Each structure stands twice: as structure tokens, then as C-alpha cells.
Amino acid sequence: MNSPSAPEEPPSGQEPVRAVLEPAEIGRALSRIAHEVLERNKGAEHLVLLGIPTRGVTLAHRLAARLASIEGTEVPVGTLDVTMHRDDLRHQAFRSIVATELPEGGIDDKIVVLVDDVLYSGRTIRAALDALSDLGRPRAVRLAVLVDRGHRELPIRADHVGKNLPTSTLERVRVRLSEVDGGEDTVGIVGGVAK
């Protein structure tokens, strides 16, 4: 296991990754977020978690499991694809569309917690809010992210943050989750040197 400050040895031709969160720290961050969500909502009633693909979906399921273990109540989980609502489609490489799957009962009059891995410019969340407006009318929408790296371009703020991680715009935050990427859960920083 790498210490948080030791760079991960990259495969040939790739930049080194500086680990900032290890599996246990990611687990503690999700437990803290679960407690915050329950405290703010005064329990699990009317909650719906919607994960933003790809890793936000995995995090939403993990968060739901923690909520259930704390509160003893199953919290519905769904998937919210934001691809067609993005304002940067023409500037990005091809993105696969993932089916949006709302929990039974939908989102009308629910407290929807959007779950994502990294909050950066805010543009993904803006797209998520647009996508939600096509699907129903929640009572409230909140945002839970594993990492907030700053550099917002839109007036969007997370309600629940696992780790605030100041970064430069030259750096990238790399989240790896075992269900999606194999191996251990990690959060690391890549780059930082202008080329």
C-alpha cells in the first residue's frame, strides 16, 4: 500500500499518480457523508440517491448501504445520465450514453441527493439539474461528492464533501473504485507540470 505522499509507479509512458486517499479513508469519507445526509434530512424518509455515471453510481450504491446500516431503512438508488444535457459535447471525445434509471416511485416530491466522484467546474452538475427537470419535480436537490477540487466555473456548491482537495488546473484527480476499475479504491492526483 502506498503512503498518501508516495507517488504510485506508473506504467511506462504514463504520469505518476500521487495518492491522496486510500481505501480506509474513502470508506470513512462515505460514512461521514451518510451521517451528514441523515442529519440534514432528519432521517431517511423521502430520500432518493441518483448516481452520475460512471463512478457516481458506484458511490451512490455504497452510500445507500451505509444509510441502510445506520438508519435501518433502504434508500432508493438510481442512475442519472447527463450526457445529452452537457454544454461541452462538441469539445469532448465521444461519450457513451448510460440509461437513466429512476427508482420506483420516481423523484417527484423527493429529496434527491446527486452523487458524483469529483466536483470540478460544476458543468456536470448543471447538466444533471437540467436532466432532472425533464424527469420530475423533486422537493429539493442536494449534492454529495467524494472530492471537491475547486476551480468552479458555475455557482454550484456541494452539500456533502468527502475531501476538499485543492489542485492546480494542470492537475487531474483520478478516482479508482474496485467495482469499476478493479484493484483497490484510491484517489490520486496526476500531473501538475506544464509540458
The grid coordinates of residue 138 equal 423533486
The grid coordinates of residue 166 equal 485543492
Q: What is the pTM of this model?
A: 0.89
pLDDT for 194? 52
Extract the runs of DSSP E, i.e. beta strands, from the chain. 7-8, 17-21, 47-51, 77-79, 111-119, 140-148, 160-164, 171-176, 186-191
> Cell numbers 436537490 label which residue?
141
pLDDT for 52? 97
Selection from 163, 91, 153, 93 nearest residue 125 by Cα: 153
* Sequence-separated (6 or more) residues with CB below 8 Å from residue 181: none
The grid coordinates of residue 40 equal 440534514
Task: List, in order of start, the domains of the chain with CATH numbers.
Answer: 22-168 (3.40.50.2020)
Helix axes 23-41, 55-71, angle to 10 degrees: 60
Mean pLDDT, rounded, for 149-158: 96
Q: Which of 7-11, 83-87, 96-100, 132-136 has the lowest mean pLDDT?
A: 7-11
Q: Which of 34-43, 136-145, 155-164, 185-194 has the lowest mean pLDDT?
A: 185-194
Confidence check: pLDDT of 41 > 80: yes
CB–CB of 71/63 below 8 Å? no
How high is the mean pLDDT of the chain?
Answer: 90
